[in-house]
Amino acid sequence: MKVVQFGLHYSPNLGDGIIAECLAHGIATRAPGAEVVTIDISGRQGFDEVVVKNRQLVMKVLGLMPLALRQRVVLAKLGPMVARFAEGWQQELEGADLAVVGGGQILSDADLNFCIKLSAAARAIRAGDVPAAIFAAGVSKNWTAKGRALFLDLLATDLRMVGLRDAPSIEAWRSQTGNPAPQAVLTRDPGLLAAACYGAPAQRPGGIGICCTDPALLAYHADAEVAGGGSLHKDLVLALIAAGHRVTLFSNGAEEDAAFQQRLGQEMADLVSSGALTMAAVPTRPGGLAHLVAGFDAVVAHRLHACIIAHSYGLPVVGLGWDRKVESFFASVGQEAAFVGAAEAGGASVAEVLEAAMARGIDPDRHARVQAEAWEAIDRLLACV
């Protein structure tokens, strides 16, 4: 069996690589001998490749343009770029039994970015006459008319499954597509298989891990209130250290997040030099991120896959709001009380939520059910072949 996965395997945000590698692990576990080929829809061939330079500046400039102009600029610049690197996708699809699109929040119309890329993927899949499945994808309710037309190219494939990772995604899919067959079904994120995929870390330094995410990046992509103001991370560090915790700052690997982590470390250089605050090295591979997160006693994060990895390893985790997908995940695993969505949330209040989450721990029976559902999702995917 050959399965081709279209996603963001080599994204600098290693949460996307976690999705791709855990999906491949799940397929190989349930279908021994299966070949899994991953295609990065941004055209990357490796983890160190930079496709768009000065991404923050690009986002800032686009944000100043009216929608119609933004879309014209993106179509003119990104369209030909995607067409060039999509030329090789047809060869990758040769002999494939199934093409998988997802997961991640890829059905989101952020200035037509994913729309253009997934339209190209759909055309390659259709040309190769390969059955297709959308798997564990997130859907944002933000499709423009142009974006919708591009996304609907996926419906022109031999689409056998639409698996979406939360209830809001299913509602957004139905309202924006007209609810065609096959009907969308709830499908667990493959990142929940991180503990099974990567195993235990060689070392567990413990303490509290705080995931650093660039505030400007959050604001650009947010579809909900961003929890906490600009000083949240710093105030949280101070509150946790005052309560006697060892604290480590880390990131999911994105350049902007790593730069934000470094700025925070510079602002709190006295705590770093005293040893009260540790600065984790920026992970460069998904497995490194998984083992970094697994080594903590608890985690606080805006980034969804930092939260998902922590939950996979059975760790207490507090999710910080900015995108409905984070809140939806916490609700889906019975951890609503560990989600903080208020824009006015401060370090002290988040520290209190974390202390309560650590005191409660993770219910082992509920955790086992969630893990079982993640494996069942893999079985449902393979049944499409």
pLDDT digits (tens, 9 = 90+) for 236-258: 999 999 999 999 999 999 989 99
Please list the residue range(s) of the chain that carry CATH number 3.40.50.11930. Answer: 2-187
Give the count of alpha carbons within 13 A of 258, CB side only.
13
Question: For residue 229, is the peptide bond before it cis, meaning its omega torsion is within 30 degrees of 0?
Answer: no
Q: What mean pLDDT do residues 162-190 have?
A: 96
Predicted local confidence at residue 216, as pLDDT: 80
Contact 192, 312 (CB under 8 A): yes
Average pLDDT, the chain: 93
In this predicted structure, the answer to whether residue 158 has a pLDDT above a threshold of 90 is yes
Q: Does domain 200-363 have CATH number 3.40.50.2000?
A: yes
Contact 30, 382 (CB under 8 A): yes
Q: What mean pLDDT do residues 72-81 have?
A: 91
**How many helices and strands in the chain, by DSSP H and E?**
17, 13
Longest dimension (CA), the chain: 61
The C-alpha angle 300, 301, 304, rounded to 5 degrees, equals 135
Predicted local confidence at residue 328, as pLDDT: 92
The C-alpha angle 107, 74, 138, rounded to 5 degrees, equals 10
pTM: 0.93
Displacement of CA 108 from its chain's centroid (Å): 12
Region of poorest pLDDT, from 52-61, 309-318, 325-334 = 52-61
Contacts of 136 (CB under 8 A, 6+ apart): 19, 23, 102, 103, 104, 163, 164, 165, 187, 188, 189, 190, 377
Task: Mark 198-232 as b/e (b = at least 16 C-beta within 10 Å).
Answer: beebeeeeebbbbbbbbbebbebeeeeebbbeeeb
Confidence tier at 343 by pLDDT (50, 70, 90): confident
Contact 317, 209 (CB under 8 A): no
Q: Give which of 256, 228, 220, 229 is closest to 113, Cα–Cα.
A: 220
Contacts of 216 (CB under 8 A, 6+ apart): 56, 59, 60, 256
Exposed / middle / buried, residue 342 (Cβ in 10 Å: 0-12, 13-18, 19+): middle
Displacement of CA 199 from its chain's centroid (Å): 20
Please list the residue range(s) of the chain that carry CATH number 3.40.50.2000. Answer: 200-363
Quote the CA–CA distance of 201 and 198 in Å, as a whole number.
Answer: 8
The C-alpha angle 266, 271, 277, rounded to 5 degrees, equals 95
- Per residue in 19-73, pLDDT (tens digit) is 999 999 999 999 999 999 999 999 999 998 776 665 666 667 766 678 888 888 8
Predicted local confidence at residue 53, as pLDDT: 60
DSSP per-residue string spanning 18-77: HHHHHHHHHHHHHSTT-EEEEEETT--SSTT--SSSSHHHHHHHHHTS-HHHHHHHHHHH
CATH class of this structure's domain 2-187 = alpha beta
Residues shown for the chain: 385
The percent of residues in the chain predicted with pLDDT above 70, rounded, is: 94
Predicted local confidence at residue 342, as pLDDT: 78
Quote the CA–CA distance of 151 and 107 in Å, as a whole number.
Answer: 8
Q: What mean pLDDT do residues 8-16 have?
A: 95
Going 47 to 49 to 52 to 57, the CA torsion angle's sign is positive
Give the count of alpha carbons within 13 A of 252, CB side only.
25
Q: What mean pLDDT do residues 130-151 have?
A: 97
Q: Which two tokens stand for residue 343?
A: 């824009």
